Structure 1
Amino acid sequence: MLHTRTTPAERRRALHERLATGRLLPMPGAVNPLSARLIQDAGFEAAYLSGAVLAADLGLPDIGLTTSTEIAARAQHTTRVTDLPVLVDADTGFGEPMNAARTVQLMEDAGLAGLHLEDQVNPKRCGHLDGKTVVSREEMTRRVRAAVEARRDPDFLLMARTDARAVEGLGAAIDRARAYVDAGADAIFPEALTDEAEFEAFRKAIDVPLLANMTEFGKGRLLNTRTLDSLGYNIALYPVTLLRLAMGAVEDGLRTIAAEGTQESLLPRMQTRSRLYELLGYADYTAFDFTLPPGT
């Protein structure tokens, strides 16, 4: 049936072991629990939950309006249905270092494999928009230390994201990343790098796993997996790709229905009923129901 058959501890170990290989890990962002199952069925080895996607799904912009408990609850719906390790966007930790500490434990309890915290002020802005503001390096190191101290499972991945490239420059972003690693971050997410030279500079300076954000319509070029692998990156992130594809298809479908008065021309582009039922495990649920003794 449609639920995970692995424990959170197993998924966290799997992510650590995969990152330790040094090979690039492509990580698509899920739109909802069912899309996380599709990510698994497509052969990917990990999935992601974007704060921007979770906010957009609630009809909100990505400016820190969602709460830690909302994100944890929605994340738990996803971890229930996939055997993949799932990394979540935890924004700024949703407040002060004490909030960041609580956020870590909420996300552990939600069955996630890890999270990333960023060094923007709270509330934050989308990482590829202008007008961002970052907290001091010292304040962010306190966030990271609080997260490390709150973590109960040592395999739960704590990643620090720095948005300083667009605010203070590349050199300052690298210096911040070093400080975050010294504070206990397991991995680094350098946001809004602009070209291959900047990705390379980060790799040369930082010796923990690095994430490359390949979001569309952002500050930098979209680099392919071969290039990112050659640059020594560990995760290629596609955070909003599936949401943009899905919403584009929804808009096209609505225009077609309005113009043609029927959805018939859209049928070849739809997931079939049989494929949806296969994904949901309808047959397994039916078989389970019929194996129960009468009166159960």
Structure 2
Amino acid sequence: MAGNRQAARLRDLLARGEFILAPGIYDGISARVADRMGFPALYMTGYGATASMLGLPDAGLATYSDMLGRAEMICSVIETPLIADADTGYGGLLNVQRTIRGYEAAGVAAIQIEDQEMPKKCGHTPGRRVVPAEEMAVKLRVAADARRHEETLIVARTDARTALGLDEALRRARLYEEAGADIIFVESPESEAELERIGREVSKPLLANMVEFGKTPRAEVDRLKKWGFDLAIYPVLGLTVAAEAMRQSFAHLKEAGTSVGDPAPQYDDIHGLMGFGEVWDFEKRWAT
């Protein structure tokens, strides 16, 4: 099973102490572009998936079926291990079991669930509320037990920092470690000092969210490694860059009445990126 092999590959990289740098992907094009770049992992962002599927904010509006379908599509066009956002697990304990098994079957290597109340909200927006820590710990035990392959990784995210403070977020991180999470994700710390403290107090592999326009200061890989982090995701980097490039191109088209002289760069091998070469080879082989 491809997802099983990719999960084993991701586990091996973490065990060997290799830092995992994972750009955010959200659709087939972003997946294909990133897959060609040689990253150790990719990250399916809930923000980007919701925006690209529905044109709506990441506010609990994408369903389990929406996100599973997006994960299945992405896994079908990449070879790189995928870390995928699964929100809160989409409900109670049975929902969590179904989510883990569905994502795992789709080929996801590492599945992220968070301790927000439903409907969840984007991690760097106001008004987030979290469930009791012990309730989330049970979810994580269910998630670990639901795996059909021991290689599949469970990422536990806590959103407690914003509403309840860093001490509570770290208490939850330790509880989630004990509950069976393989990777810990403390969302939206607000200073470099907080990042350093998280690195000191979390013992399992630790994920940093280097989100554009967020609450957390962005730091380069060398400093994240020094502070004790093992993974870094850049969930909306590709999305924001693509949106701005489109805005520039469309503005030029409206003003100039032509695409000639467009200031935005063009991807000059879009046919190759999308796999048209394979289509043409197939047609030549089976031409009558």
> What's the TM-score, normalizing by structure 2?
0.96
Within 5 Å, which residues of 2 pair with 1:1-296?
7-57=2-52, 58-266=54-262, 269-272=265-268, 275-292=269-286, 294=288
Distance 2:280 2:251 in 1: 37
Give the conservation status (yes or no) of the 8 Å contact 1:24–1:228.
no
Displacement of 1:268 in angstroms is 6.5
The runs of 5 or more residues in structure 1 that have no matched partner are 1-5
Displacement of 1:74 in angstroms is 0.9
Distance 1:68 1:53 in 2: 15
The runs of 5 or more residues in structure 2 that have no matched partner are none
DSSP 3-state at the match of 2:262: helix
Distance 2:185 2:264 in 1: 39
Distance 1:289 1:131 in 2: 54
Distance 1:232 1:201 in 2: 9
Distance 2:59 2:198 in 1: 27
Distance 2:75 2:210 in 1: 23
User: What CA deviation, in whole Å up to 9, does each residue of 1:86-128 have, x standing for no partner?
Assistant: 0111111111122111110110111111111111101111111
Tell me which residue corresponds to 1:3.
none
DSSP 3-state at the match of 2:77: coil
DSSP 3-state at the match of 1:80: helix
Give the conservation status (yes or no) of the 8 Å contact 2:46–2:86.
yes
Displacement of 1:234 in angstroms is 0.8
> What's the TM-score, normalizing by structure 1?
0.93
What percent of counterpart residues are identical? Answer: 38
**RMSD, aligned α-carbons:** 1.5
Distance 2:222 2:174 in 1: 26
Distance 1:114 1:87 in 2: 5
Displacement of 1:289 in angstroms is 2.7
Question: Number of aligned pairs?
Answer: 287
User: What CA deviation, in whole Å up to 9, does each residue of 1:193-243 have, x standing for no partner?
Assistant: 112221121122111110000001111211111211221211111001101
Give the conservation status (yes or no) of the 8 Å contact 2:133–2:172.
yes
User: What CA deviation, in whole Å up to 9, does each residue of 1:229-279 have, x standing for no partner?
Assistant: 22121111100110111011111111111111111111762112xx11222
Task: List structure 1 runs of 4+ shifted beyond 6 angstroms.
Answer: none
Opposite residue 39 of structure 2, the aligned amino acid is F
Opposite residue 22 of structure 1, the aligned amino acid is G
Distance 1:180 1:288 in 2: 49
Distance 2:264 2:146 in 1: 50
Give the conservation status (yes or no) of the 8 Å contact 2:248–2:263.
no
Opposite residue 284 of structure 1, the aligned amino acid is E
Distance 1:162 1:69 in 2: 23
Opposite residue 94 of structure 2, the aligned amino acid is M
